[in-house]
Structure 1
Amino acid sequence: MSKARHPSVSPPHVGVIGAGAAGMTAALRAAESGARVTLLNAHPKIGLKILMSGGTRCNVTHREVNERDFNGGSRAFVARVLRAFDVPGTLAWFAQLGVELKLEPTGKYFPMTDDAQTVLDALLAANERAGVRIESGARAVRIRREVLGGSPARLHVGIQDARFSAEFGPAVARVGEEHWSVPDREPDRWLEADRLVLATGGLSFPRTGSDGVGYALALALGHTLVSPVPALTPLTADDPWCRSLQGLACEAELRLYEGSKRLVSTRGSLLFAHFGYTGPVALDLSRHWHRAARDAAPLVVASFTPGESEESLRRSMIEAAEREPRVSVRAFLSRSMPERLAAEVCREIGVDGGSMLGQLPRADRRTLVERVLRRPMSVTGTLGYEKAEVTAGGVRLSEVNPSTLESRLVPGLYLCGEILDVEGRLGGFNFQWAWSSGTVAGCSASA
């Protein structure tokens, strides 16, 4: 997507704030398009989230990605960005970077090495070849826009150097739900740029340097936020099953209710842990739980035979009892769920799992069906940003041009990645958003 530049036109200086997946992509695209690029990263180490992702394997994208795989703001906005740099384009790009990918049965793409370091090394090497100047340990704490006469406005970034020592305290103070501020301390130096790309991410995995500084910078420039909440984070629970079934995985559908109103449902693998529930189905539900919990006490209900109706389960029980008169209740349940889970279902409703299915009283059959299809899950919260893979919420999409990702409020400012109100489900979708939005922002900023 690089563009040729007339030799008499001086290349713009593009500053990129944040050297995560989206920021490195934006910097590379801008440099390939002819811009001079400076890439700033607050943490002394670059790409920590990339190295942690996908169990350190880095799930770079998914076989099929569309706007319905994302939550947050306008899906039409998301679709436009994804069309600008889609999955086939991403696969070809990684091949150009020298990263060989493999497609797994789940639809997820990983590097052949099964090592996230491969992806990070390729991105860093490509940026270096393109002439990107990378400054690590450089924390952006101010953005100032300067207009001189009829000349195009210049953007100045205030930088604090190597401020990850505890003595300097946090970079950002949070005040209320949507108000963020940078502590009142003068920057050590200023970087002047023609255009800026804000790719600071959100709040997930704060030990990697995600402290919300991008929110403070965007707010100071007039932008507004959809309140950030942790997303793709495990659910905590007060549930005896979390002890008796610790380490057990099963297929499940989780449904979130506010009173009698069903808000959302997720389906996939559920893993019982000592603290509560994890696995894709729980992680995908977490952002919705956080949103609902702000106004009410949401209820989570699980079905352990996803997609099956009450009528079909009852019919299956009757047919199994007629076909196999000696089949036990536990044996019948174990055909559609792990045996340990089947035993816990029986124990919880007071049914002898070893008793014959055909001799089960009608009232017990009704209770069994109810427990299999609609078991209340005692969710008490989540593990928060410390374990969240992404942050939901962020800068409102209505304030950004979807064709260029330029701010509608601040000419010359571009935003990409997790700082925007876009969050994908588990499976490589958030990385695809990083590659796509980084490409659009980087190419646009260099034009």
Structure 2
Amino acid sequence: MKVGVIGGGPAGIIAAGFAGSRGKNVTLIERNDRLGKKLFITGKGRCNITNASSIEDFFDNIITNKEFLYSSFYSFTNEDILKLLASYGLKVKVERGNRVFPISDKSSDVIKAFQKFLINNNVKVLLNKRVIKVNKTNNHFLLEFQDNTIDYFDKLIIATGGKSYPSTGSTGDGYNFAKNFGHSIIPLKPSLVPIVIEENFVKELQGLSLRNVKLTSVVDNKIINEEFGEMIFTHYGISGPIVLSTSNVLNKYLNKKINLYVDLKPALNKEKLDKRILRDFEKFNNKQIKNGLNELLPAKLIPVVLNISSVNEVKSINQVTREERLRLVNTIKNLPLTFKRFRPLEEAIVTSGGVATNEINPSTMESKLVPGLFFCGEIIDVDGLTGGYNLQIAYSTGYLAGMHV
């Protein structure tokens, strides 16, 4: 049986390798000059391979259509992908948040292990080969390529990824192929993406990185999400791990007014923070207030916090009123940011939306509309938070497609 796999990312690689392990004649077709181009840049070039949490915990970190993934996650787990990579010489380490990385901190080492996996299972790899059209005729899939060649396959797996990071080849071709076969495409939205903020003061804070802060999302006066960790201010707004995770949750509230609040000192309640500020005020009693907060806040942040608190930055500390001090406490615990929009889909780590899950068999990844057609990875309408969860979706769905094709 001749099997075609379109897309040489993690989902396509796993699908092709396991189809090959079952004796199928497999061709993996990749439009780029190398496999796993997007994989090279994950985890800031270190490749966050997966997450070491229990599979049960995985479902708490899947935002869209987690029920669809039960069969795939339990069929090919995080332990399975690590065993596979270990069998091809890759050694790994577990870091904060149970994130798993190669010991070398080089994503290229992960790619090398995957390449050995493909060679070992006799997968033919075609690079620099872009599919422009797919049809099914006489129980065969006909693929037309950009170089004017054609090829036929008995079964077809589409693993073309989403539409984020188009420079890696994820330009949305697979959605057109799926539509051509009659599949519904859930509208695409950016997920795990930086946020544009209304307030102009973010420009003054550009490049400021904050650790151990809490980001709270409020929609219609209700708290809908809280994230604790690191964030960074940019010229347009905010980014960083807790911002990317927040974006995944906010996706469902884009038609409503969204307010964000940063707790700059989550380890201190308001009473303890007030006592801390009083101690600093005693220490710097004769200084201007803008020079009396350096031990509490980053220098860039002090004028912004004072302005929001309506406290004159040149006021002498010994003249600051109790009301002004309490306003300062409140601002430090609730630095207000107004959500404007997400950055473009092209800047997102993951694409939310894609081929409708109710048109795919969750136990095999085969299309319910077109026999012999399979989908896996980011092209499907499933996505999760940062931390290796989205890559595990690719491996697990790729495994089912490869084993059932």
Shorter-chain TM-score tier: 0.7 to 0.9
CA distance in 2, matches of 1:304, 1:54: 26
| Alignment-derived partner of residue 156 in structure 1 | 141
User: Which residue of structure 1 aligns with residue 106 of structure 2?
Assistant: 115
Shifted more, 351-360 versus 46-55: the winner is 351-360
Distance 1:324 1:305, change over 3 A: closer
Matched, 1:132 2:123: yes
Is the counterpart of residue 348 in structure 1 residue 308 in structure 2? yes
Q: Which amino acid aligns with 1:351?
A: V
When the two structures are superposed, what TM-score results if normalisation uses the length of structure 2?
0.87
CA shift for structure 1 position 18: 0.7
Give the letter for the 1:431 counterpart.
L
Alpha carbons of structure 1 residues 130 and 276: separation in structure 2 relative to 1, 3 Å? same
Q: Indicate yes or no: 2:253 matched with 1:292.
A: yes
Consecutive unaligned residues in structure 1, runs of 5 or more: 1-11, 148-153, 163-187
The secondary structure found in structure 2 opposite 1:158 is strand
- Contact 2:274–2:326 (Cα < 8 Å) also in 1: no
- 1:24 matched to 2:16? The reply is no
**Can you list the C-alpha shifts for 1:94-136, whole angstroms capped at 9, x where unaligned?**
1012111112234221112211111112212321231111112
Deviation at 1:291, TM superposition (A): 4.4
Whether the aligned pair in 1 keeps the contact of 2:365 and 2:400 (CA below 8 Å) is yes
Aligned ranges 1:427-446 → 2 under 5 Å:
427-445=387-405
Give the deviation of 1:338 after TM superposition: 4.2
Match of 2:135 among 131, 144, 148: 144
Structure 1 residue aligned with 2:59: 67
Contact 2:262 2:335 in 1 (8 A): yes
Helix, strand or coil for the counterpart of 2:352? Answer: strand
Corresponding residue of 2:27: 38
Check 1:397–1:358 CA distance in 2 against 1; reply closer, same or farther (3 A cut): farther
CA distance in 2, matches of 1:227, 1:33: 35
Contact kept in structure 1, 2:85 and 2:114, CA below 8 Å: no
Preserved contact between residue 28 and residue 442 of structure 1 (Cα < 8 Å): yes
Deviation of the 1:317 alpha carbon:
3.8
Q: Which amino acid aligns with 1:326?
A: E
Residue 241 (structure 2) aligned to one of 280, 293, 298: 280
Q: Which moved more, 1:248-257 or 1:115-124?
A: 248-257
Q: How far apart in 1 are the matches of 2:178 and 2:228? A: 35
Q: Distance in 1 between matches of 2:343 and 2:378?
A: 19
1:224 aligned to 2:190? Answer: no
Root-mean-square deviation (CA), in Å? 2.8
Shift of 1:161: 2.9
**How far apart, in 1, do the equivalents of 2:319 and 2:176 lie?**
65
- Which residue of the partner structure matches residue 49 of structure 1? 38
* Partners of 1:423 and 1:246 in 2: CA distance: 29
- Deviation of 1:229 (Å): 1.0
Alignment of structure 1 residues 9-408 onto 2, 5 Å: 12-64=1-53, 66-73=58-65, 75-147=66-138, 154-162=139-147, 188-250=148-210, 251-293=212-254, 295-306=255-266, 313-317=269-273, 319-320=275-276, 326=282, 338=298, 340-342=300-302, 344-351=304-311, 361-408=321-368
Q: How many residue pairs end up in the alignment?
A: 397
Task: Give secondary structure in 1 for the equivalent of 2:136.
Answer: strand
Does the residue aligned with 1:45 lie in a helix, a strand or coil? coil
Aligned partner letter, 2:144: I
Displacement of 1:61 after TM fit? 1.1
Secondary structure of the 2:245 match is helix
> What amino acid maps onto 1:222 in structure 2?
G
Task: Assess if the C-alpha contact under 8 Å between 2:93 and 2:102 holds in 1.
Answer: yes
Q: Describe the SS at the equivalent of 1:66.
A: helix
Is this contact kept in 2: 1:327–1:356, CA < 8 A?
Answer: no
Deviation per CA, 1:237-284, whole angstroms, max 9, x where unpaired?
343443332222223333334433444443321111223211011122
Q: Letter of the 2:47 partner, please give it.
A: C
> What per-residue deviation string (whole Å, max 9, x for no partner) do you get for residues 32-62 of structure 1?
1211101111233332101111111111112
Change over 3 Å in CA distance of 1:333–1:405 after alignment to 2: farther
Given candidates 353, 370, 383, the residue that maps to 1:423 is 383
Could you tell me which runs of 5 or more consecutive residues in structure 2 were left unpaired when the two chains were aligned.
Answer: none
Q: Aligned-pair distance for 1:209? A: 1.5
Deviations 1:212-239 (A, max 9, x none): 1111111121211221111222222343
CA contact (8 A) 2:281 2:292 kept: no
What is residue 179 of structure 1 aligned with on the other side? none
| CA distance 1:191–1:109, shift in 2 (3 Å) | same
